[in-house]
Structure formats: C-alpha cells, structure tokens
Amino acid sequence: MLEQYALSVVISNKRFIVATKVWFITGASSGIGWAVALQALQNGDQVIGTSRQLAKLEELSTLYPQQFQALPLDVRQSDQIKATIDLAWKIHGRIDVCFSNAGQALVGPLENTPEAHIMEMVSVNYLGHLLVIKHFAPYYRQQGYGHIIINSAIAGFDNVAGFSVYGSAKAALEGLGESLKAELAPFGIHVSLLYLGPTRTAFIENNLTKVGTDHEAYARTVGRFARVLDNINGKQPGDPLKVADAIYHIAHLEQPPFRLFFGPYAYQHARQKIAFLQQELDQWESLGKPTDY
C-alpha cells in the first residue's frame, strides 16, 4: 500500500522518495476532515489534526498515539492560526500536505441574515483558509515542495438560492486558489480545490445554520432548498470514505489536479455551469468585446 503512494520529491536537484507523509488538517474532528485523517493514519502517515473541540480528537489520539497529534485551532482567530502552524512545523520538521478543510454553512435569504452571521461565514469559509495558507506559504517555500488542498463545495462553483452567504464565501476560494497556483508553482507547491456534492456526514445536522427559511416571499426558492437539505440529511449519496480515498490519492500524485469534483450531483452542476458560461460568453460577445480603444 505504501509503495503505491510513494512520492518522489526534488530538492536542490536531488530526488527523494517520501513513502509516508505528514498531514496538517483543519477541522479534523468530524466529516471529511476526520475521514481524511483516518485514511492517512491507516496508511501509516503522520497527522496533525486541529479542531476547536480537542475532545473530539481523543479517539484518533487513542487509536494512533504514535502517529496522531491533536492541536487546538479556531480558524476565526488569526493569532492562533499562526501559533498553531508554527508549533505544528516543529513537531516533525516538515509538513507535506496542508488540508484546509474547516467550514460551516448557513442557509437563508440574504435580507434576513444578520451581519454577525455573515461575518462568521466569511471568517470561517474564506478568511480562515486564506490565513492558514498565508502562514504555510513561507514554510513550504523554504521546504521546496508541498501540497495545499482546499475544501470548497459545489456551491462555490455553481451556487443556489439560499446559499448567498455560504456559497459566495466558498466561491472566493476559486479566486484564491487560481492566484496561489500561479504564485506558488515556482517553489514546487501544488494547490488543489475540492468541490464536494452532498456527502453523508453530520455537516447538515451539526454545522448548518438556518435563518429566515420560513419567509413567505422566499418559499419557492430559499424555503424549497432548505426543505431539500432537511430531506436529504442522513441520506446524502456521497460516501465520505470514498471521498477521503480520492483526496489521499491526489495527495500522492506528482501532478495533482487543480480542481476535483466529487459525485454525480457535483459533476452535473459543474457541466451545466460551464455550458451556461460558454453560451453567455458567445451571446454577448458582440456587445462586450469591442470596447478597447
């Protein structure tokens, strides 16, 4: 198994084989973060898992005391982000994969969403990722290689009514990822964006806030989508273990994908969005294109 995932790394024109990896995972206490941590540990890797709730990481610490290190991290706290990353780097002297995964969701009409909720969504789902990567960049640059994997959502690529706050924060990760890909590639650093469809974790139950979803004016849009989320809770088609296996796989590729979609739902919506963009581009080209001096 380890031979399958052996990775060759070039540092100062010398090639090294890294059979096992060191992972840094935010939001490792549940969902996809937990599944990826477990997959890495089962394959013999070292994992530094972070969470706001360290008690939820005790099981992994007990099962893998020689491989798993739990650290506290609230991605809303910029000072804590830097301190935790500095500490994490000292544990093994290197980190091969940064899985920036922590997130939470909100569904509701924008006009009914309090500013405090908006700031929370932007802080967790965009700024948290940005600041984690900001503090990783100099370490990776000096290390000469690394992989940053950012967990977005299909709503960050093709959004729906009710996710105006959550989806827009996730969509910002697209722009972040594209710039980082260009900035960090010269230093041997890869960037991957993940777009998950509905996946059977406890995310809807534990990490989804509802605001104004019963507003009569939005019954056919936001309200309908909120009811869909209620109905699929616990029945989502996506298997988190299969998702984790795919993430583990791309972390061991010399040329990993920049974007990776998960599940038929995500692929359907991505293709619809791409087709719409092409159609709209062609439709309005005669108006928008001839505007140079």
**Which residues participate in catalysis according to the annotation?**
166
Radius of gyration, alpha carbons of the chain: 20
Query: Cα 246–173–277 angle (5° rounding)?
Result: 90
- Per the CB < 8 A criterion, the answer to whether 266 and 195 are in contact is yes
Contacts made by residues 201-204, CB under 8 angstroms, sequence distance 24+: 201/30, 201/31, 201/32, 201/35, 201/236, 201/240, 202/30, 202/31, 203/30, 203/31, 203/105, 204/105, 204/229, 204/230, 204/232, 204/233, 204/236
Helix (H) or strand (E) holding 172, with range, is helix 164-184
CA–CA separation, 289 vs 220, rounded Å? Answer: 37
Residue 17 CB: number of other CB atoms within 10 A? 9
Helix (H) or strand (E) holding 184, with range, is helix 164-184
Strand-pair partners of 46? 22
Query: For residue 29, which phi and psi values (nearest 5 degrees)?
Result: -85, -5
Residues in the chain: 293
